[in-house]
C-alpha cells in the first residue's frame, strides 16, 4: 500500500472510530456532542441544566467507572436526599461472585455525586450501610447501600468535578519512555486520603512491579480459562452497534485499547473471529504487555476486603484517583484479575494462592488488596463508553 493510500485509510479509520459505528457524535466548536437518543448522550448533557437540583447529581454519578461497564446503580431521588441502590443482576457473575467489584463501582458513583453536590451548592452527609459481602442472589434484587442527605452549602467547582466527562478507561499500551512526575504521586496520595480504613499503595521499583505483572498475567490466564467466568464476562461485551444501542452498557470495541485502524478492523470482522482472537492466552499476553508499558502500578487496600462499606470507600478512592489523573493528562485503567482470583479461589474452595502472593507484595498484614490499577502517558485516545439514560436508573 502506498503511503498516501495508507494515510487515507488511517484517516477514514479514525473517523469511523470517532463516530463509534453509528455517527453518534458531531463536532461543534471543537467539542464532541452526541444526539439525545445516542448511547453516549449522557457524556455531553451531564451538566447542561445549570439550575441546582438533586437530579443533576445523579447525572454526574452515572458517568462513574464500574466493572465491565455494568452500571449496577439505581437511585431514589428526593428534594433533600438521594438513596443509592445496588441492582444485583447487573454483575459479572463468575468474575465477581461476592459483588465486591459492583460495590466498588457504586463507590465510584458516590464520588461523582459528591463532587457534583459541591458544584450544585449542596453539602452532603453520607450514611454507608454496613454488612459483609455475600454471594450474589440467583434472582436479581435491589439492595440499598447508601443514603446521601443534602443541605445548602457553598457552590464550588473543583478540577475533579470538571474532569468527570473526560474520564475514560484507557486500555491501550502506554508510553514507557515518559515517566510520571514525582509530584503526581504526592498529589495522588493526598487526593485519596478519605478514611482510615482505606489506603493507596504505589509501586515504583522494577522488581516489585515485575512480580505484580507475573501474578496478574497468570491470574488473567487462569481466571478466563474458567468457562463460567468467560461466559459471565461475554454477556457484557457489545460487539455490534445494534447491541450498544439496545443495552447502552458493557464493553465495546472502542474501549478495547486498539489502534484506530485495528478498531475499525475489529468492527468489521465476524464476531466469531473476534471471540477466538480474545482467547485467554492472547488476552494474558496483551495484559502483561500493557502492564510493562505502565509508568505506575498502584493498589487500593482496605482493612477488611469483605466489608460492603469499605468496598464503597475503595470505589470513591479509585474514582478520585482516576479523575485526578485525567486532569493531569495521564491515562489509567484497572487491572484486577489477581484480586478477582482471590474471590474466585475462595468461591471454589481452592487454596488462597493469590491472597498469599499479594500479601507478600504488600508486606503489611493490616491491609488487604481490593483494587489494582495502571497509570501512564497514553499512546491512543480513550473513548467514552455507552451509558444508560438517567431515567432508567430511577426507583419511584
3 domain residue, yes or no = no
Question: Is the pLDDT confidence value at 279 over 60?
Answer: yes
Q: What is residue 60's predicted lDDT score, i.e. its pLDDT?
A: 97
Are 347 and 264 members of one domain? yes
Are 285 and 260 members of one domain? yes
Pairing between β-strand 368-376 and β-strand 331-334 as defined by DSSP bridges: antiparallel
Nearest to 294 by CA among 168, 215, 169, 180: 180
pLDDT digits (tens, 9 = 90+) for 137-196: 988 999 999 999 999 999 999 999 999 999 999 999 999 999 898 899 999 999 888 899
pLDDT band at 4 (very low <50, low <70, confident <90, very high): very low
Residue 143 carries which DSSP code?
E
Q: What is residue 265's predicted lDDT score, i.e. its pLDDT?
A: 75
Are 87 and 138 members of one domain? yes
Q: What is residue 274's predicted lDDT score, i.e. its pLDDT?
A: 65
For position 142, which CATH number holds? 3.40.109
Are 22 and 131 members of one domain? yes
For position 226, which CATH number holds? 3.40.109.10
285 domain residue, yes or no = yes
pLDDT digits (tens, 9 = 90+) for 342-353: 999 999 999 999
The H or E element spanning position 86 is: strand 81-87
pLDDT band at 290 (very low <50, low <70, confident <90, very high): confident
384 domain residue, yes or no = no
Overall average pLDDT of the 199-211 stretch:
93
387 domain residue, yes or no = no
pLDDT band at 107 (very low <50, low <70, confident <90, very high): very high
Are 80 and 211 members of one domain? no
Overall average pLDDT of the 225-240 stretch:
91
266-277 exposure pattern, b = at least 16 Cβ within 10 A, e = fewer? bbeeeeeebeee
Number of domains in the chain: 2
Q: What whole-number percentage of the chain has pLDDT above 90? A: 71
Range in 39-43, 230-234, 365-369 with the lowest mean pLDDT: 230-234
Are 188 and 228 members of one domain? yes
Q: What is residue 273's predicted lDDT score, i.e. its pLDDT?
A: 66
Question: Is the pLDDT confidence value at 297 over 70?
Answer: yes
Q: What is residue 49's predicted lDDT score, i.e. its pLDDT?
A: 80
pLDDT band at 2 (very low <50, low <70, confident <90, very high): very low
Question: Which of 143, 165, 187 is at the close of a domain?
Answer: 165
Are 76 and 156 members of one domain? yes
Q: What is residue 310's predicted lDDT score, i.e. its pLDDT?
A: 98
The region that residue 363 occupies, defined by phi over 0 for left and psi between -120 and 50 for alpha, beta otherwise, is left
Question: Is the pLDDT confidence value at 25 over 60?
Answer: no
The C-alpha atoms of residue 61 and residue 42 are separated, in whole angstroms, by 11
Cell of 115: 463532587
The C-alpha atoms of residue 211 and residue 95 are separated, in whole angstroms, by 22
Overall average pLDDT of the 88-97 stretch:
93
pLDDT band at 276 (very low <50, low <70, confident <90, very high): low
Q: What is residue 194's predicted lDDT score, i.e. its pLDDT?
A: 86
Overall average pLDDT of the 292-315 stretch:
96
235 domain residue, yes or no = yes
Q: What is the mean pLDDT of the chain?
A: 88
Question: Is the pLDDT confidence value at 376 over 80?
Answer: yes
pLDDT band at 281 (very low <50, low <70, confident <90, very high): low
Q: Which residue has the cell 455475600?
A: 134
pLDDT digits (tens, 9 = 90+) for 129-153: 999 999 989 889 999 999 999 999 9
pLDDT band at 275 (very low <50, low <70, confident <90, very high): low
Are 15 and 147 members of one domain? yes
Q: What is residue 57's predicted lDDT score, i.e. its pLDDT?
A: 96
Overall average pLDDT of the 349-366 stretch:
96
Q: What is residue 22's predicted lDDT score, i.e. its pLDDT?
A: 43
Domain of residue 154, residue span:
8-165
* Strand-pair partners of 251: 237
Question: Which of 165, 191, 223 is at the close of a domain?
Answer: 165
pTM of the predicted structure, to 2 decimals: 0.90
Nearest to 266 by CA among 21, 22, 98, 4: 21
Question: Is the pLDDT confidence value at 257 over 90?
Answer: no
Are 142 and 265 members of one domain? no
391 domain residue, yes or no = no
Question: Is the pLDDT confidence value at 250 over 60?
Answer: yes
385 domain residue, yes or no = no
Are 174 and 160 members of one domain? no
Cell of 231: 461466559
Question: Which of 104, 136, 165 is at the close of a domain?
Answer: 165
Helices in the chain by DSSP H: which ranges? 3-19, 41-45, 54-61, 100-119, 159-162, 182-191, 206-224, 227-234, 241-247, 260-268, 271-277, 280-293, 308-327, 337-348, 353-362
Are 141 and 211 members of one domain? no
Q: What is residue 6's predicted lDDT score, i.e. its pLDDT?
A: 32
231 domain residue, yes or no = yes
Are 147 and 229 members of one domain? no
The C-alpha atoms of residue 357 and residue 353 are separated, in whole angstroms, by 6
Nearest to 42 by CA among 23, 9, 26, 64: 64
Nearest to 369 by CA among 144, 168, 101: 101
Amino acid at each position: 500500500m502506498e503511503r498516501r493510500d495508507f494515510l487515507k485509510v488511517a484517516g477514514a479509520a479514525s473517523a469511523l472510530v470517532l463516530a463509534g459505528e453509528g455517527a453518534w457524535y458531531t463536532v461543534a466548536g471543537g467539542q464532541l456532542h452526541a444526539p439525545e437518543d445516542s448511547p453516549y448522550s449522557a457524556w455531553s448533557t451531564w451538566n447542561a441544566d445549570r439550575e441546582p437540583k438533586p437530579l443533576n447529581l445523579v447525572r454526574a454519578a452515572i458517568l462513574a467507572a464500574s466493572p465491565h461497564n455494568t452500571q449496577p446503580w439505581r437511585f431514589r431521588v428526593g428534594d433533600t436526599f438521594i438513596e443509592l441502590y445496588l441492582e444485583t443482576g447487573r454483575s459479572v457473575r463468575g468474575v465477581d461472585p461476592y459483588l465486591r467489584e459492583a460495590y466498588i463501582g457504586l463507590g465510584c458513583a458516590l464520588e461523582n455525586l459528591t463532587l457534583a453536590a459541591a458544584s450544585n451548592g449542596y453539602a452532603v452527609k453520607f450514611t454507608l450501610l454496613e454488612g459483609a459481602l455475600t454471594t450474589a442472589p440467583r434472582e436479581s434484587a435491589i439492595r440499598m447501600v447508601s443514603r446521601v442527605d443534602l443541605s445548602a452549602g457553598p457552590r464550588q467547582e473543583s478540577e475533579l468535578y470538571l474532569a468527570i466527562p473526560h474520564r475514560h478507561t484507557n486500555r491501550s499500551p502506554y508510553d514507557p519512555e515518559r515517566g510520571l512526575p514525582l509530584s503526581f504521586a504526592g498529589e495522588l496520595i493526598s487526593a485519596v486520603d478519605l478514611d482510615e480504613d482505606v489506603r493507596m499503595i504505589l509501586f515504583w521499583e522494577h522488581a516489585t512491579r515485575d512480580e505484580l505483572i507475573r501474578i496478574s498475567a497468570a491470574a488473567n490466564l487462569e481466571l478466563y480459562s474458567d468457562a463460567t467466568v468467560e461466559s459471565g464476562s461475554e454477556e457484557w461485551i457489545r460487539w455490534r452497534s445494534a447491541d450498544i444501542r439496545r443495552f447502552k452498557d458493557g464493553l465495546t470495541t472502542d474501549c478495547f485499547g486498539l489502534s484506530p485502524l485495528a478498531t475499525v478492523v475489529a468492527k468489521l470482522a465476524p464476531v466469531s473471529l473476534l471471540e477466538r482472537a480474545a482467547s485467554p492466552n492472547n488476552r494474558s499476553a496483551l495484559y502483561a504487555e500493557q502492564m510493562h508499558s505502565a509508568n505506575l502500578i498502584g493498589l487500593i487496600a482496605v482493612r477488611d476486603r469483605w466489608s460492603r462499606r469499605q468496598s464503597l470507600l475503595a470505589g470513591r478512592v479509585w474514582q478520585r484517583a482516576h479523575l485526578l489523573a485525567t486532569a493531569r493528562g495521564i491515562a489509567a485503567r484497572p487491572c484486577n484479575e489477581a484480586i478477582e482470583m482471590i474471590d474466585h479461589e475462595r468461591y471454589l474452595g481452592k487454596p488462597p494462592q493469590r491472597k498469599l502472593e499479594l500479601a507478600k507484595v504488600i508486606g503489611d498484614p493490616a491491609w488487604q488488596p481490593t483494587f489494582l490499577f495502571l497509570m501512564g502517558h497514553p499512546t491512543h485516545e480513550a473513548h467514552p463508553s455507552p451509558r444508560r439514560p438517567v431515567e432508567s436508573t430511577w426507583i419511584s
